[in-house]
Amino acid sequence: MIKFLLEFKTNFWKDFDDETGFLLTDEEIPTWWTQLPSESNLLTGWLGGPNATKKIFEPDPSLLQIALLSLSSIFHIPPAMLKEELSNYKIINWLNHPHVKGGYSYNTLYSDKSKEILATPVNNTIYFAGEAICTGDSQGTVESALQSGHDVAKMMIGHLRSEKKE
Ligand SMILES: Cc1cc2nc3c(=O)[nH]c(=O)nc-3n(C[C@H](O)[C@H](O)[C@H](O)COP(=O)(O)OP(=O)(O)OC[C@H]3O[C@@H](n4cnc5c(N)ncnc54)[C@H](O)[C@@H]3O)c2cc1C
């Protein structure tokens, strides 16, 4: 997954639609979002999956150019004009980050069994929580990490209560 953070001198996209939030397009960098409801001159671009993998070693200036071309096509503004409007940018290429090497987690064939093993408390003393062991619908998100934390805390409290009764 590659994220593009582009800050412009103005939020020119408001000229097209005052309510622009998410833009889902067919461009090379297909997904964009604004900071709505906050007023901001920042646009975030997002590229994931195999198309991001193809660009793993692409240098930032080249990725920036691709991003500007995508925006140029979306908003019908010449790329040179967009470049002129750009005040700052940061491209986060998670794929070639040595401690990340990717983006969101996803299940493989044995994930369910592995997660079951990983989620088993040790002697009712050490408990494991986190997105890595979550089996719900929202895999790969902070939401699932929170859900897992909540579920494991409940399990611990349940265990403490049953111990007190004994
Ligand atoms: C590039 C990227 C982009 C993402 N974007 C989004 C997004 O836009 N929205 C969204 O909802 N989710 C996003 N996610 C997913 C989200 O970040 C994770 O689902 C979430 O952080 C999981 O939380 P966690 O607490 O379970 O685990 P983590 O946040 O991974 O926390 C685990 C912690 O344990 C520490 N740790 C590991 N091993 C040890 C050890 N042996 N001893 C001590 N500490 C250790 C780690 O350093 C880390 O701090 C993204 C993930 C990535 C990688």
Structure tokens at 104: 């969101």
Domain containing residue 36: CATH number: 3.90.660.10
Do 83 and 22 have their domain in common?
yes
> For residue 104, is it within any domain?
no
pLDDT digits (tens, 9 = 90+) for 42-72: 999 999 999 999 999 999 999 999 999 999 9
Domain containing residue 122: CATH number: 1.10.10
Closest CA to 69 of 30, 95, 37: 30
Q: Give the pLDDT confidence score for residue 146 in this predicted structure.
A: 95
Whether pLDDT at 166 is above 80: no
Do 81 and 135 have their domain in common?
no
Closest CA to 86 of 5, 2, 1: 5
Q: Is 118 in the pocket of ligand 1 (CB under 6 A)?
A: no
- Cα of 92 to ligand 1 centre, how many Å? 16
> For residue 103, is it within any domain?
no
Q: Where are the beta strands (DSSP E) in 51-102?
A: 86-93
Q: Where are the beta strands (DSSP E) in 48-155?
A: 86-93
For the ranges 40-54, 61-75, 92-106, 107-121, which has the lowest average pLDDT? 92-106
Domain total in the chain: 2
Q: Give the pLDDT confidence score for residue 66 in this predicted structure.
A: 98
Do 9 and 61 have their domain in common?
yes
Q: Is 142 in the pocket of ligand 1 (CB under 6 A)?
A: yes
84-to-43, 68, 74, 78, 148 alpha-carbon distances in Å: 15, 11, 17, 10, 46
Q: Give the pLDDT confidence score for residue 104 in this predicted structure.
A: 84
Final residue of a structural domain among 44, 68, 96: 96
- Confidence label for 109 from pLDDT (cuts 50, 70 and 90): very high
Q: Is 48 in the pocket of ligand 1 (CB under 6 A)?
A: no
State how far the Cα of 120 lies from the Cα of 110, in Å rounded to an integer. Answer: 16
Find out whether 3 and 44 touch, Cβ atoms under 8 Å.
yes
To the nearest whole number, what is the mean pLDDT of the chain? 93
Q: Is 131 in the pocket of ligand 1 (CB under 6 A)?
A: yes
> For residue 123, is it within any domain?
yes
> For residue 70, is it within any domain?
yes
Task: Tell me which DSSP letter residue 121 carries.
Answer: P
Do 13 and 79 have their domain in common?
yes
- Cα of 83 to ligand 1 centre, how many Å? 34
- Cα of 145 to ligand 1 centre, how many Å? 8
Do 144 and 80 have their domain in common?
no
Do 12 and 80 have their domain in common?
yes
| Residue 74: domain span | 2-96
Do 26 and 66 have their domain in common?
yes
CB atoms within 10 A of CB 111: 16
- Cα of 102 to ligand 1 centre, how many Å? 12
Q: Is 152 in the pocket of ligand 1 (CB under 6 A)?
A: no
Instruction: Output the residue whose Cα is nearest ligand 1's atom 10.
Output: 141
Whether pLDDT at 102 is above 90: no
Do 28 and 68 have their domain in common?
yes
Q: Give the pLDDT confidence score for residue 54 in this predicted structure.
A: 95
> For residue 60, is it within any domain?
yes
Mean pLDDT confidence for 141-152: 94
> For residue 105, is it within any domain?
no
Task: Tell me which DSSP letter residue 22 carries.
Answer: E
* Percent of residues, the chain, with pLDDT higher than 90: 77
- Whether the pTM exceeds 0.95: the reply is no
What is the enclosing helix (H) or strand (E) of 8? Answer: strand 2-8
